[in-house]
Amino acid sequence: MDLILRTARLTDGRLVDVHVADGTIVRVTEAGTEVAEAGTEVEPTDAAHVVDCAGRVVIPGLIEAHLHVDKALLDRERPNPDGTLAGAIAVTGELKRGFTHDAVRDRARTLLDQAITNGTTLVRAHPDVDPVVGLTGVEVLLTLRDEYRDALDLQIVAFPQEGIAKAPGTLALLRQALAAGADVIGGCTYNEATLAACHEHVETVLDLAEEFDVPADLHADFADDTSDPRFALAGHIADRVAARGLHDRVALGHVTSLASLPPVSRGAVLARLAAAGVAVVPLPATDLHLGGRSDDRDVRRGVVPVRELWDAGVTSAYSSNNIRNAFTPFGNADLLDIGLLLAQVGHLSGPDDLGRVLEMATSSAARVVGVADTHGIRPGAAADLVVLSTTDPAGVLLDRPDRNIVFKRGRVVAETTRTTRLTTRSKELTHA
């Protein structure tokens, strides 16, 4: 046995010991019991690295299902001129002209290190692929996927932010990216000039998913409302995914315009998404920041209705999307922060709702990115685990406690401890 986490509290409140060998969880036993089942001897504990969790909450590694690693931390170079999606695309498009491998790598490392510190053990990254930036982001992330393999799983999405038809040359680059080892084909349906081009974009992305046998992950319907049909494609995409038999292989990011539909129409689209096995990934930090910019009163929230995703049975995760750039000038690569934001904006509260929100960054996110078989706190899962500085499962999102220890496949990859002293009282408040 390599590692035993003693007296770990699961989010359902149970206290358990988690036994790890060769980076994999082999047993989860009631805390303090030395046998998993009658007659099964456990190796002497002195053969293992033992971590006493002392009742602290332990969660599976957090998953960023949608993160623009290549474009992060650009906010100090040039801000968004008008706060809109169009403004963000324009200013970032200009900055991309100056991207170098070294600069992208430096910003990416800073971001990934921060994500690991905050308990993230898998990132699905969406580097831009277009004739301006070429494969710079993909190439950097391919090297980082290897460099970080002991600390973080990195999935690389070849992402045509500037469109495919609208940016000639992009299709060939997407093929090169997939041939070079990108894990997922991306899409950006709304960045085409016409509805017909948007439909063609969807077909091209799904063709590539089939040809290279990779999942697809598209940006879709990122608008305040569905008045422009290029921003009302979720149902169409669901139907095309179903027709091609790509169940559980396609995710959609944003889908904010869905919130503007009347309930009956909304319910019909959600049912098509659920039936097709198309996942939806709200990106609340960006959705809130760029949405509602033309509203002069009662500014819209512009986030897909999360409870309705749950009720309709749509697989869902949430993610940071952008961090400190023209799309989202905030963020610390901390999924607990984003989860609290999602709860606040989505009218989600109480232990049951907050527990489901946390699942959107753990077990549900694992389904979205295709790693459900190896994720979780159960035998057979990778020992990607986060020990939190709280003993209260309900406090995980409300308190966003320190990530005391982050394990990647059973190895410690980050530790955080803090001590706070209340100097006006003779008492030390220690966060273990």
Residues at the contact surface with Zn ion, assessed by CB under 5 A = 321
321 or 390: whose CB is closer to Zn ion? 321
Q: Choose between 191 and 321: whose C-beta lies nearer to Zn ion.
A: 321
Indicate the residue among 20 and 188 with the shorter CB distance to Zn ion: 188
Specify the residue, 80 or 321, whose C-beta has the smaller distance to Zn ion: 321
Shortest Å distance, C-beta 327 to Zn ion: 8
Characterize the bridge pairing of strands 216-220 and 250-254.
parallel
Nearest 5°: the CA angle 210, 216, 218 is 140
Considering the complex, state which of residue 189 and residue 321 has its C-beta at the smaller distance from Zn ion: 321
DSSP 49: E
Rounded to the nearest whole angstrom, what is the least distance from the CB of residue 240 to Zn ion in the complex? Answer: 21
Alpha-carbon distance values, 148 to 69, 121, 152, 159 (Å)? 14, 10, 6, 21
Give the nearest residue (CB) to Zn ion.
321
Question: How far, in Å, CA of 432 to CA of 417, rounded?
Answer: 7
CA 21 to chain centre: 27
Residue linked to tokens 């007296």: 7
- Sign of the CA dihedral 302, 121, 187, 317? negative
β-bridge partners, 414: 406
Nearer to Zn ion among residue 71 and residue 408 (C-beta): 71
For 162, the 3-state DSSP assignment is coil
Query: Residue 144 CB, nearest distance to Zn ion (Å)?
Result: 18
Question: How near is the Cβ of 188 to Zn ion at its closest, in Å?
Answer: 8
Instruction: Tell the smallest beta-carbon distance from residue 293 to Zn ion (Å).
Output: 17
* Residue number with CB closer to Zn ion (321 or 389): 321
Please give the span between the terminal C-alpha atoms of the chain, in angstroms, as a whole number.
25
Which of 220/413 has CB closer to Zn ion?
220
Q: Residue 414: which of 20, 140, 141, 112 has the closest Cα?
A: 112
Query: For Zn ion, which is the closer residue by CB, 187 or 376?
Result: 187
- Two tokens, residue 92: 């970032």
To Zn ion, the closest distance from the beta carbon of 255 in angstroms equals 12
Q: How many Cβ atoms sit within 10 Å of the Cβ of residue 225?
A: 17
- List CB contacts of 28: < 8 A, sequence separation 6 or more: 16, 17, 18, 19, 377, 378, 379
Q: CB of 332: closest distance to Zn ion in angstroms?
A: 18
For residues 47 and 189, what is the distance between their CA atoms, to the nearest angstrom?
A: 54
Least Å distance between CB 90 and Zn ion? Answer: 16
Q: How far is the CB of 167 from Zn ion (least distance, A)?
A: 17
Backbone angles phi, psi at 410, to 5 degrees: 85, -5
Sheet holding 24-30, edge to edge: 24-30, 15-21, 3-9, 49-52
Structure tokens at 425: 């009282």
